[in-house]
Each structure stands twice: as C-alpha cells, then as structure tokens.
Amino acid sequence: MSTENTIQALIAAGDHKEAASVAIRLMGPKVLGYLRSILRNEEDAGDAFSSWAEDLWLGLPSYRGEASFRTWAFKLAWCAAMHIRSDAWKRLGRRFNSGEASKLAEELRTRTALRDERQRRQLDELKALLEPEEQTLLFLRLDQEMDWNEVALVLSGEGPALDPAAIRKRFERLKAKLAKLAKDRGLTE
C-alpha cells in the first residue's frame, strides 16, 4: 500500500493521530530535504520542519481531501518555509517544540542530517542560485512527481489559485536556466 493510500485509510478510519504519525515518518525525510534546499540554513530548516509537523498534526482533522494528501502536506511545508523567511515571524521568536509531532520531527531531522551529503553538494550549489519558488517548482515536479494542478495549488500558498499552464511555462524556462548554469559551472559537456 502506498504512503498516500495508507494515510487516506487511517483518515477514513478516523485515526488522525496515527495518520499524522505515519505522514511525518514516511513523508518527513523528503519534506526536510525540500526545506533544507529552499531555506539554505539547517536551523531554519529544522524550525520549518517542526512547524510543518505541528501544522500537519493539528490540521489533519481539517484536511478535506480536495487535493491529494501529499499535495496538502507540501503546501503546509511551503507555507512553513515562507513563514520562517518572513521578518515578522522571526520577530515573534522561535516556535516552542512540544508534543508528539515535535518529538517525531526532531528524531527524523537528526537521523537524516548527514545522509547523502556528498551527492547533494553540486546540485545544492546550483539550487542555491535559484529563488525559493523556483526550487519549490523543481522539487514538486521532479522529486515528488506532482502533476501541474497539484504544483499550482501548492505554489498558490495562501493566495488565489495559480494557472497550471503558467506554472508549466515557468518550468520550461527554469530548465533552460539550470542547463545554462550547469554548463557555465562546467558540470555538463
């Protein structure tokens, strides 16, 4: 059974606590990797990941199923990252880590902190040259294999829905930009 199906079955059974635990454990490593790549700071990524886990844990009962659970979870991650980046949120101070969600998030974050570091260096250097929205677009489309409607939904954040065709066009421009960056840095022939 896929992660999506497992979580959906637990939600349908009304076991929100177990659904949240499974979601954090199974989706957490990819979400954390995504947050690290767009925030470019381990502490900020950890804070955003903790915020994501808490938002998922607390918000799961309100999940309406209008999009896949994965799409909903990455939308929460995008919003958590943008809140971490905003000056207003930083003035309020760091979020207090408490409860089961934070415990799971911390366990996962420390366990995966050093994994695959050498393989990511060159790719991370290229990604660091991109804007957070560009990084998110790449991550959702390539790493998560989301369709254009899902990507548009996530990138719309808390604002009005974006047009999937416009997102597809942005992606094409982004691929050309990455190819040029890779060639300029001698990473391609």
Q: For position 189, what pLDDT does the model report?
A: 60
Per the structure block, which two tokens stand in for 152? 């548009």
Q: Per-residue pLDDT averaged across 68-91, rounded?
A: 84
Q: What is the pLDDT of residues 87-118, one digit of tens each?
A: 545 545 555 555 677 777 666 666 655 444 54
Question: Mean pLDDT score of the chain, rounded to an integer?
Answer: 84
Q: What is the pTM of this model?
A: 0.66
pLDDT of residue 90: 56
